[in-house]
Amino acid sequence: MPVHQILPILSRAALWAPAAAAAFLAWRWLFCRLKGKSFNWYNELWFTATVFYFATLFLITVSRPGIDWAAVAEGRHRGRYGLQLIPFFVTIKQLRGGWLKLFYPVAGNIAWFIPLGILLPACWQIKNQPVSGRKVLLISLLVSLGIETLQWLWGTGVSDIDDVIFNVIGGILGYGLYRLFARRSNWRFAHCDCRKRKDLI
């Protein structure tokens, strides 16, 4: 994607993703306050970071500027940029044009899903749930398939199986980084949803 097309998408995400994260954090604080539950800022920032990440990912990959919603409703946008289901067909084609053309489709798709592999197990640990690489792989696959499907339905990008493959690789790499840092730094989270505030008992 050319730079002149990326910049408007990034600027839009920079505006709306923080707003979504701030709204979520305010809602969580109010929810814990009304329910009389402990509000741990450190834990809640992990949840907020996850909301920020998903909002950014959605705005950059799917909800791009210039969508004709009337055309989407009528199905005229469906598959506007094509559907590619042959693994590595596009990647090999791009490779023939030089490594530079391959950088964003490969490194970009991997990089976008590394935070997913870090944030999901961190949030599970906060909720005192098992952290599983299989779960991260499955969710990465489902999220990527959801993005490619919406891109096809809304006509906002090429739906390519290579994107799904590289996205899943990014999610697994992120999970590996999470396990590495969690083991070395001995991360600990307070389970904020399980403890009542003493001053409200």
Chain segment 16-73, per-residue pLDDT in tens:
999 999 999 999 999 998 988 888 888 899 999 999 999 999 999 998 777 777 777 7
The residue with tokens 């909301």 is 51
pLDDT of 47 reads 94
pLDDT (tens digit per residue) in 72-123: 777 777 777 778 899 998 888 888 877 777 787 899 899 999 999 999 998 8
Structure-block tokens of residue 126? 């906060």
CB contact at 8 A, 139 and 85 = no
Place of tokens 């730094």: 185
Query: In sequence order, which ranges of 36-88 are alpha helices (DSSP H)?
Result: 41-61, 69-74
**Could you identify the residue written with the tokens 């990326």?**
6
Helix (H, G, I), strand (E, B) or coil at 106: helix
pLDDT at residue 188 is higher than 70: no
Say which residues have a Cβ less than 8 Å from residue 14's Cβ, sequence separation at least 6: none
Cα gap 140→164, rounded to integer Å = 9
Query: What is the spatial distance between Cα 92 and Cα 17, in angstroms, rounded to a whole number?
Result: 34
